Structure 1
Amino acid sequence: MGEALVAEGDLLDLASRALTAGGMREDEAAQVARVLVLADLFGVRTHGISRVPQYLDRVRIGGIDARAEVATLRVAPGLATVDGRNGIGPLVGMRALEAATEGARAAGIGAAFARGSNHFGPVMPYALLAAEAGFASIIASNATTTIAPWGGRDTRVGNNPIGIGVPNPGGDPVILDMALSVAARAKIRALAEKNEPMPQGWATDSAGQPTTDARAALAGFLLPVGGHKGYGLAVMVDMLAGLLSGASYLTRVQAWDKNPGAAQDLGHVFILIDTARLGSTEWLRERVADFTAILHDTPAADPASPVMLPGEREMTSLARGRQEGVRVAEADLQKLRTLAG
């Protein structure tokens, strides 16, 4: 499959036009495009513009409402709820980010709990936008069930992503964005399509037995990172993002790939901290510089692979993509062009 380099602005315009043609309002389509194009700039192509056709397929069959009136309710100076009303996920995510930002500006720390949502892309774009505005963040979502409870052999827990971001005035923020399985289902699917084996420890078959057969793994379930600790973290993310938000949780969440015509009712949580309330810009810059230097100065076990901070590889990809163009698959680009008319 060929690849293409596309200027960020051109890709934003194309994705926005495709989403608008699919039923979204222009201004809201632009917000969704911003999240997805940032994903591609970070090199997270499984969550970038390749998702546009998937989202719009679900719109066409009634699984997502492209013109949903997302509603935000402020329940306290630093706390808001967001009802996605089954809108396109990154739009709900952006509204939740805005609500949490507003709360943090007012109270120093702000939280938004979203319900009635769908797949909202990766966490990293939201954490970057927050960091650029001076906010540290904790952002998480629940997801379709793909992980078995520790000691169980049926999928009851989602591969729930969580991210933590810290701003770095004048430099790249430090951002962790991780799902809670050892490997993403998309990676296993890609190996299955190529009939290639899968590393041991990624997933089990449908009987709960370890396997290196990617096809068997797709019929089974993912293994959590860190064993029982990863399971516990996935459960608690769902309690925050799903249970407390009023969204669906665990097996109540609809699987978009198995039942694309049903509303998923995913939940998200956004917690933002106004770092300006903790100290001056110069104070934060100096502390982050010292913190990162301690890690970067660690002698590398392999000189060809120096020690990096969470998100550093993605931030390097972002800078390169903004200079040289966003690297995308030709097939995904062609699908976007077709959808945009």
Structure 2
Amino acid sequence: MSLLALATRYNWKGLEDFCKQVFQKAGVPEQSAAIVAESLVQADLRGVDSHGVVRTAIYLKRMEAGMIDAFADVEKVSESDATVLVDGKNNFGSVIGTKALDIALEKAKRNGASFVGVKGSNHFGTGAYYAMKAIEQDMILLVMSNASQTMPPTGGVRPFIGTNPLAVGVPSGKELPFILDMATSVVARGKIIVSAQKGESIPLGWAIDKDGNPTTDAHAALEGSVLPMGGPKGYAISMFIDILAGVLTGAGFGKYVNNMYENWEQPQNVGHLFIAVDINRFIPVDLFKARMDQYIREIKQEPKAPGVDEILIPGELEYRRTLERKENGIELPIKVVEELAGIGQSYGIDLAKAAYEHAKNEGAKSWN
């Protein structure tokens, strides 16, 4: 393997193409492979590295073990004017999520709003991935998902609920759109996984060990539990999401959402809920965008606390990080690079071609 293959900075488009080729070689249909690859690299671009290409290996392992069916037909189970229940049939989470999003947006355009529940899914990436697609169509989107047990109920020690994420996307005009994408834990468990891979400690207050003691050891945290944000408030929101995404849809909930890293006998059965709103049913979308611009500008013009240079809106840091990483490449941990290079080698795909310096030398700046 060349030294270039062990570079740690990668061109985003080259990395996306590498991942797409890997999934295709593994037997994933081309369109699905493109969706999965895009969702992973978009996470890395936004700085959500815990949901980026680091997940490539586990996705492939789940598929090879029969825990993901890349050829399953995502189907509607039931439907009304404003609601749809989708069975993902255990396909890739981002493939199922993209199908559910398309249904939600189409139905909202027809009826003003829609609620699309999903069962039989897997880890679907970041909620922002779907929020940004809805924004492109001038729609408001709320999307939530449950996850396997990683967080205790307030007052408990043992994991019972997931770090169930919530994302909201709202379009604007000349200003950046509002994009909230958050886990209901103090920190996404994926960040602790990344810290463990890097051999780094974690901040106190992120997690407890298996005995309920606060810990800064990432490995001990993974054996224990991450903590809900805001104590009982985060616990309540996570439970609320589990009810809507899991209990309501017929998906797994609580201890019945299976862990992708630990359970190799059963599919995950993750649940999602997509809520789409057609702005034009309230006020003309251009007027809404102008009002959003005004709102955002006035927030950013508010008096600043000592030491604060700028007031940011949700999603703004990630937007800037995306621009920077598209220009200068995505930095990956060496362990992730070695893992990806090994996967690529097994399929005859050279990760080195996605390296930032290689892409620049080959005149691939157009990828940016």
Shorter-chain TM-score category? over 0.9
Could you report, residue by residue, the CA deviation over 1:54-77 in whole angstroms, capped at 9, with x for unpaired residues?
A: 111111111111211111245112
Partners of 2:260 and 2:105 in 1: CA distance? 29
- Correspondences of 1:99-114 after superposition (within 5 Å): 99-114=103-118
1:217 and 2:221 matched: yes
For residue 196 of structure 1, report the CA deviation from its aligned partner.
4.2
1:19 and 2:23 matched: yes
- Correspondences of 1:1-341 after superposition (within 5 Å): 2-8=7-13, 10-73=14-77, 75-193=79-197, 195-303=199-307, 305-328=309-332, 330-331=337-338, 334-335=341-342, 337-338=344-345, 341=348
User: Matched residues, percent identical?
Assistant: 37
Structure 2 residue ranges without an equivalent (≥5): 1-5, 349-368
1:38–1:125 contact (8 Å) kept in structure 2: yes
Partners of 1:340 and 1:112 in 2: CA distance? 37
1:23–1:67 contact (8 Å) kept in structure 2: no
Structure 1 residue ranges without an equivalent (≥5): none
Partners of 1:302 and 1:339 in 2: CA distance? 54
Corresponding residue SS for 1:146: coil
2:11–2:326 contact (8 Å) kept in structure 1: no
Partners of 2:39 and 2:100 in 1: CA distance? 13
Partners of 1:22 and 1:194 in 2: CA distance? 27
Amino acid at match of 2:8: E
Quick one: structure 1 residues 17 and 157, their matched pair in 2 at CA, closer, same or farther if it must change by over 3 Å? same
For residue 284 of structure 1, report the CA deviation from its aligned partner.
1.6
Amino acid at match of 1:277: R
For residue 155 of structure 1, report the CA deviation from its aligned partner.
1.0
The number of residue pairs the alignment matches comes to 340
Partners of 2:68 and 2:325 in 1: CA distance? 31
Quick one: structure 1 residues 332 and 130, their matched pair in 2 at CA, closer, same or farther if it must change by over 3 Å? farther
For residue 24 of structure 1, report the CA deviation from its aligned partner.
1.3
TM value normalised by structure 2: 0.86
Give the aligned partner of residue 366 of structure 2. Answer: none
Could you report, residue by residue, the CA deviation over 1:305-330 in whole angstroms, capped at 9, with x for unpaired residues?
A: 42111111111222334455555454
Could you report, residue by residue, the CA deviation over 1:236-294 in whole angstroms, capped at 9, with x for unpaired residues?
A: 00000111111010001111111134200000000010112222233122211111112
Could you report, residue by residue, the CA deviation over 1:119-142 in whole angstroms, capped at 9, with x for unpaired residues?
A: 000101100000111111110000
For residue 227 of structure 1, report the CA deviation from its aligned partner.
0.5
Partners of 1:114 and 1:71 in 2: CA distance? 10
Partners of 1:123 and 1:302 in 2: CA distance? 33
Amino acid at match of 2:139: F
Partners of 2:117 and 2:212 in 1: CA distance? 34
1:14–1:336 contact (8 Å) kept in structure 2: no
1:108–1:277 contact (8 Å) kept in structure 2: yes
CA RMSD of aligned residues (A): 2.1
